[in-house]
Structure 1
């Protein structure tokens, strides 16, 4: 593969992704805070939480520029240390933090699905009322800390493995292993002497990682299915207003699409890569796809909320109309002044501008 083109395109994707994702998520936060339906409750704080999480995620991804590569017994996440403003140790911590945010982001969506499901039962929704929401918002942070500690304490680089991968990294990625730091889960330690027996410390650490992944995934599927059944059957028979039913539907389907994006782009590919290390199958450069998905994910993930929730879609439409009117006014002024017909500071000029606009639109 053409590594120079790949690295250049990946760098561009990361820069463009960050430049688009952060304003987009900030705009969504503004809409959630100012345009959300009144009966949305504490759910708006969860939505803001996701947008803020994706802003932090995109910034860390931009700073670290993570690159994934797979071996038969290990998938490593590579972060460039040479030339970085941070020390090698800080780069290693940021590498682990990137993995932690990547993993715990699934729990963020699991929390969303749990809230959506619980909110369909009036008596049960009290567990999210008031300041109780803070407790629930702490759960993804706890998951993230467990990811961080596990990767930092067990799966960081070692001198033996560094020497083992030196030639492969140089040949396949054109990277000097001394210029980077890496972290990556494994079940079997591998070195120049071959694949060793199962490493039980790594095995139980991976058991913790798989528990974090599966607990979030199971929550998403169970609560998602429960929401679907309740919305399609229960709400049709409920006494809630048409507006409430409509909002429930919009929020649920926006969440489904919003969650499907990282599942398809990140979680399924990374889970396959992790499983392949267990059965000692090398997927090689195919794991590089995940590097692109990390750059793309924060950009596309806000879009379902922006365009499916009616209140936000309406606000965007109104903003576009206002901007088009302002551009139209500016264009007409430039047109008539360039022709030397008027001085736009006079009252007569306003009438002439209106006349020209009508002619241009006819």
Structure 2
């Protein structure tokens, strides 16, 4: 089995596992959620179905990441695909948009948990139909990230010329056999000067600004939630019931773990690949490991919620026993 076939195999296994696990989690959320969960279960369903759709997209295009010099490419082998080239480019951009959506979703979850934990008046904005306005934030993040991929990080004749031989040696692919998107930072000229790919630089700056804004919300709200929940748990005479305090702690720790998974599997590997390319260091097929870790994210992400939330955990183990 060659490298791209191995990556494709892992992606299909991960996608099948993700769809199965997230369907199980959907049933648990709908039928076994504590009554105190309130509107939060809509946010939980939101992320579950995002991960299912992401897995389906991953199977459809089976992308593989590849870096060469200062170029990072998300490649789809199109030779035997019935999907037209332009549509494949849109699907690759949608795949990139999933990064923006994921960070928007987790930032939104932390904001919600912060409002709930502190009893903020802003909780009213999450009730009834108004919660769907909040749900637009990750979609906007995704649209910006996807637009950056499609309009600023598209294919070019320069990239084709630089990577054509490398693709043939590595995969046995002709340049016209693939569709791809990705940044091209700079090319060293014969006189030692650099030709900067400004579209790529601007695109990556926009994308990582979005990422940074989400991380700020996660870190700020996460620290506030942790301090508040700890103080609430330690107050035995609190007017808040013990069950509710325990539930808040379970939801918070599940959310922290659930957020760590995409950070470890998606954002850190991608950041490493981009950093090496920016330094003009060739990772070649090693960058394909990122394709594997990214595909594992939606398969593993349901597990913290399923096993940390007591109602879900007892239901699962009760069924097994």
Same fold, judged at TM 0.5 (above): yes
Aligned counterpart for 1:53 among listed residues 50, 55, 59: 50
Aligned to 1:96: 93
Aligned counterpart for 1:161 among listed residues 159, 162, 166: 159
Aligned counterpart for 2:185 among listed residues 151, 174, 187: 187
Matching of residue 134 in structure 1 with residue 144 in structure 2? no
Q: Structure 1 residues 21, 191: closer, same or farther in 2, change over 3 A?
A: farther
Moved more, 308-317 or 99-108: 99-108
Instruction: Tell me the SS of whatever aligns to 2:117.
Output: coil
Aligned to 1:38: 35
Distance 1:252 1:109 in 2: 12
Q: Which runs of 5+ in 2 are unaligned?
A: none
Distance 1:283 1:6 in 2: 14
Distance 1:120 1:108 in 2: 18
Distance 1:218 1:187 in 2: 27
| 1:263 Cα deviation from its structure 2 partner | 0.9
Q: Structure 1 residues 13, 110: closer, same or farther in 2, change over 3 A?
A: same
Equivalent positions of 1:1-362 (< 5 A) are 4-122=1-119, 123-188=121-186, 196-237=194-235, 238-321=238-321
Output one character per residue of 1:224-279: Cα deviation in whole Å (capped at 9) or x when no partner: 11111111124433421000011011111111111111111111111122233333
Distance 1:192 1:23 in 2: 53
| Aligned residues: CA RMSD | 1.9
| 1:207 Cα deviation from its structure 2 partner | 1.8
| 1:168 Cα deviation from its structure 2 partner | 1.1
Distance 1:269 1:89 in 2: 27
Distance 2:124 2:79 in 1: 51
Aligned to 1:349: none
TM value normalised by structure 1: 0.83
Q: Which runs of 5+ in 1 are unaligned?
A: 322-362
Higher relative CO (Cα under 8 Å, sequence separation at least 6) belongs to 2
8 Å contact from structure 1 (residues 160, 191) kept in 2: no
8 Å contact from structure 2 (residues 232, 245) kept in 1: no
Aligned to 1:359: none
Q: Structure 1 residues 178, 38: closer, same or farther in 2, change over 3 A?
A: same
| Structure with greater Cα Rg | 1
| 1:280 Cα deviation from its structure 2 partner | 2.8
Instruction: Tell me the SS of whatever aligns to 2:118.
Output: coil
Output one character per residue of 1:66-111: Cα deviation in whole Å (capped at 9) or x when no partner: 1001123221100111111211111111111111113321221111
TM value normalised by structure 2: 0.93
Output one character per residue of 1:278-330: Cα deviation in whole Å (capped at 9) or x when no partner: 33333333211111112211111111111110101111122223xxxxxxxxx
